Amino acid sequence: MSTTAPYSSPESVATVHLSRLLKAPVVAGSGESIGRVDDLIVRLSGGDAYPPVTGVVVGVGGRDVFVSAEHIGEFGGQRIVLSVNKVDLRSFERREGEVLLKADILGHRLIDVAAAELVRAYDVELDRTGEGWVLARLDTRPPARLFGLLKSSGGHASRDWKAFEPLVGHGQSSAVRGISVRLRGLKPAQIADLLEEADKHERGEILDQVHGDPELEADVFEELDSDQSSRLLNDMPDSEVAALLGRMRADDAADSIMELRQSRRRRVLDLMPAGQRTKVVTLMGFNPDSAGGLMNVDFVSCPMESTAAQALSVIAGAQVLQPEALLKVHVLDAGQLVGVASVIALLQAQPATAVAELMDADPVRVAPDADLTDIALLMADYNLYAVPVVDEDDRVLGVVTVDDVLEDIIPEDWRRREPAPRPVREPAPASTNSGENADGPAQL
């Protein structure tokens, strides 16, 4: 090791950029040069705190060693000065929950939660707080280029760390964090879009997190396009596929079963819950582009002699049905469809009013072999959100809802259009308890 003049502390800094700190010299308290900064370590958690810097990976004589943040005396953009004169020269080994900023964050993509898209981190900003240094912000702006060469962009377009969800790709760290609160806040369709954009490793971590919430996982798979869903299901064991399809809407589960290799279908069906299996097998008997293939076999109904209050109680108890299927109550007499009552009419009526007085006694209905175009035209002509599917005896088989029709009727090239920009709302600023930098990570 070479020796330099003893360190003279410069004026303290409140913010440090990772890009300027990498390869910076690490100096012992005595002034002796120990090595250079190879990486910084932070610890992520499932909470909403800014990740604290817990140590430095220092390159010493061809090996990486760990230096605890507790042993850092001065931390700046030019060099790191330790409060000790010696370090443990055992090779660094990552522990559970540890994330390396250079290896895991810098140059990698993260989820921009507000925009629900994947963005790349080009730099990391660290702030000093009263408790130590924390990961505060990310710069996701690509560096400017001049004649093909990197050129300083003249400032950092940094954003609060809490606006992002990292995709670290390290199994032990992911397991410790569990499913992120940020990821839970995204809509299933947004997570499905992320999966379709992600590469193999990114997709694996998103799926690992979503898998921790079985209901969310089912909702996400309902939103995936058929090709992506098929690829993901083919990588899962039969038992997991059966459990997943058992939580999905029966019509979506039937579509997914048909996307499996024929040799797997029977095995997966046999592992599914009996009730769901019956629904799925029923739907598989219809042309997928017909009313029978599009319908959901779950719907709400009540006897003709019911009151408005009784019909509303049926809706209130249908916790597992999709909202679109709850907009109408199907009124039955001896099992036959005799009318449809809208939830609005039921809510506006007196509780004791007979459903027979509120229902449409001649509701629009279709046979199971009705095609997609006919259903769409009926919905447009009569301003319908759902259409009952009945057999030749007027018994309700299921309901086709507007979301299923739209999903099948929108041209494929329209689906790939870039969506209109959504308003981006940053996380609410949260001050830190630091006397040196009161704003801390809340700076934007």
Q: What is the pLDDT of residues 270-281, one digit of tens each?
A: 999 999 999 999
Q: What is the pLDDT of residues 26-37, one digit of tens each?
A: 999 888 889 999
Q: What is the pLDDT of residues 109-133, one digit of tens each?
A: 999 998 899 999 999 999 998 888 9
Token pair, residue 378, equals 């009926």
Please state, in angstroms and rounded to a whole number, the distance separating the CA atoms of residues 270 and 255: 16
* Residue count of the chain: 444
Give the orientation angle of helix 200-210 with respect to helix 188-197, to 10 degrees. 150
This model's pTM is above 0.85 = no
Sorted by sequence, the CB contacts under 8 Å of residue 308 that are 6+ apart come out as: 346, 349, 350, 351, 352, 353, 354, 355, 358
Nearest Cα neighbor of 314 from 346, 337, 284 is: 346
Q: Is 147 exposed, middle or buried (0-12, 13-18, 19+ CB in 10 A)?
A: exposed
Residue type at 410?
Answer: I
pLDDT mean over 59-81? 87
Going 180 to 187 to 170 to 129, the CA torsion angle's sign is: negative
Please state, in angstroms and rounded to a whole number, the distance separating the CA atoms of residues 287 and 175: 42
Q: What is the pLDDT of residues 362-380, one digit of tens each?
A: 999 999 999 999 999 999 9
Buried-state track 272-286, b at ≥16 Cβ within 10 A, e below 16:
beeebbebbebbbeb
The pLDDT value recorded for residue 90 is 86
Tokens 């009318």 correspond to: 339
